[in-house]
Amino acid sequence: MPLHIQYLRASTPNQTPELQIRDIQTLNPPADIQTIKEHGSAWKENVTRPEFEKLIALIKKGKVATLYVWSIDRLYRDRKKLVNFLTLCRNQGVKVYSYNQRWLEDVQKIQPPFDEVIFDMILAILGFMAEVESTLKSNRVKTAVNKKKNGTFSYKGRKWGRRAFPQQTINRVLQLRKAGYSIREIAASVQVSDKNHKKRHIPKSCVFSILTRFPEKKESRKKCPKKIDFWT
C-alpha cells in the first residue's frame, strides 16, 4: 500500500521538529502518516542526508502516495535541485503538500490535464528563479572583487591568491640551481620566516614554482655555500 510520509528536517541537532509537526497537522494528513526526520543542511554539498535518500528511494519505487513538509526548503534550498525533486514526485504520482506553500495544495485540486500545465509552469518559474539567483550570486562576487595592477583584492582589501615570493628568495633559489643544486637540496638549504616569524625550510613545490616561473633569470656566478640560513 502506498505510504503517506511527513519529512521533517532541522538544520542543527539543537532544533526540534515539534513546530513542523504541529503546523503540518493543519493540512489534515492521513491518520496513518509516517514520519521521516533528520538533522542536516539542505544546501551544503558535502552534508549527507541518509533519511532523505531513503525517501527518494521509496519515491522512485512508487511506494509513496503523498509527501508532507513544513516548507519546501526542508527538501532543498537549492532551487535547481528542488525543481528536479518535484519533477520526480510528479512523474511518480506523489502529491506534495507544504504548510508554508499552500499553493501546492491548490494545484492538487485542479482537474487534469490543467493540473499538469499549472505544475509545469510553477516548475519553470522555480527554475527561472534558480538561474536568476545564480547570476546574482556571481555578480555579487564580481562586484566585490577589486582588480589592480599588483593583484586582485576583496572588498575588505585582502589580496587573493598565494603570497608572492620575496625577491631575495627567488634570487637565492636561482643562484643555487645555477650552482648545480637539486630541488631537494635547494629546499633543504633555503630558509624563510613565516607570518609568525618562525624559521622554516622553503617547500620543494615552491622551489619548483620559482624555477618554472623564472627559467632564464641571470644570477651571479659566485659559488654559494652548501648550507644557507636565509631570512626574509
Confidence at residue 211, expressed as pLDDT on a 0 to 100 scale: 86
Q: What's residue 55's pLDDT? A: 95
Region 101-127: mean pLDDT is: 81
108 lies in the same domain as 189: no
Asked whether the beta carbons of 19 and 47 are under 8 A apart, the reply is no
Q: Is the pLDDT of residue 53 over 80?
A: yes
| pLDDT value of residue 201 | 85
Q: What is the CATH number of the domain that holds 93?
A: 3.40.50.1390
Give me the domain span that covers residue 42: 3-130
Q: Is residue 64 part of a domain?
A: yes
- pTM given for the model: 0.54
Q: What is the pLDDT of residue 155?
A: 54
How deeply is 118 buried, as exposed, middle or buried, from its count of CB atoms within 10 A (0-12, 13-18, 19+)? middle
Tell whether the model's pLDDT for residue 58 goes beyond 90.
yes
Distance of CA 224 to the CA centre of its chain: 48
Residues 121 and 41 in one domain: yes
- Cis omega (within 30 of 0) on the bond before 215? no
Residue 56 lies in a domain: yes
Residue of 65 and 162 predicted with greater confidence: 65
Residues linked to residue 68 through DSSP beta bridges, in sequence order: 6, 97
Q: Are residues 126 and 168 in the same domain?
A: no
Mean pLDDT in residue range 43-67: 88
According to DSSP, the β-strands at 151-153 and 146-148 are antiparallel
The more confident residue out of 90 and 18 is 90
Q: Which of 109, 130, 151 is the last residue of a domain?
A: 130
Of 82, 110, 130, the domain-final residue: 130
CA 221/CA 194 separation, integer angstroms: 29
What percent of the chain is predicted at pLDDT more than 90? 23
Residue 74 shares a structural domain with residue 17: yes
Domain assignment present for 104: yes
Q: Is the pLDDT of residue 217 over 60?
A: no
Identify the pLDDT of residue 5. Answer: 97
Amino acid, single-letter form, for residue 174: L
Residue with cell 493543519: 26
Question: How does residue 168 score in pLDDT terms, banded at 50, 70 and 90?
Answer: confident
**10, amino acid identity:** A
- 202 and 102 part of one domain: no
Nearest to 104 by CA among 70, 154, 146, 141: 70
Question: Could you identify the residue written with the cell 543542511?
Answer: 41
**Model confidence band, residue 32 (pLDDT cutoffs 50, 70, 90):** very high
Which residues partner with 201 through β-bridges?
Answer: 191
How many Cα atoms sit within 13 Å of 39 on the Cβ side? Answer: 6
Q: Which residues contact 24 (CB under 8 A, 6 or more apart)?
A: 6, 68, 69, 70, 99
Mark whether 217 and 104 lie in a shared domain. Answer: no
- pLDDT value at residue 220: 46
DSSP element (H, E) containing 131:
helix 114-143
* d(C-alpha 149, C-alpha 160), whole Å: 13
Question: Residues 124, 11: one domain?
Answer: yes
Using the predicted structure, report yes or no on whether residue 164 has a pLDDT greater than 80: no
Query: How sure is the predictor about 102, in pLDDT bands with cuts at 50, 70 and 90?
Result: confident
Q: What is the pLDDT of residues 180-206, one digit of tens each?
A: 898 889 988 888 876 677 788 888 888
- Report the C-alpha dihedral over residues 6, 30, 2, 111, rounded to 10 degrees: -100
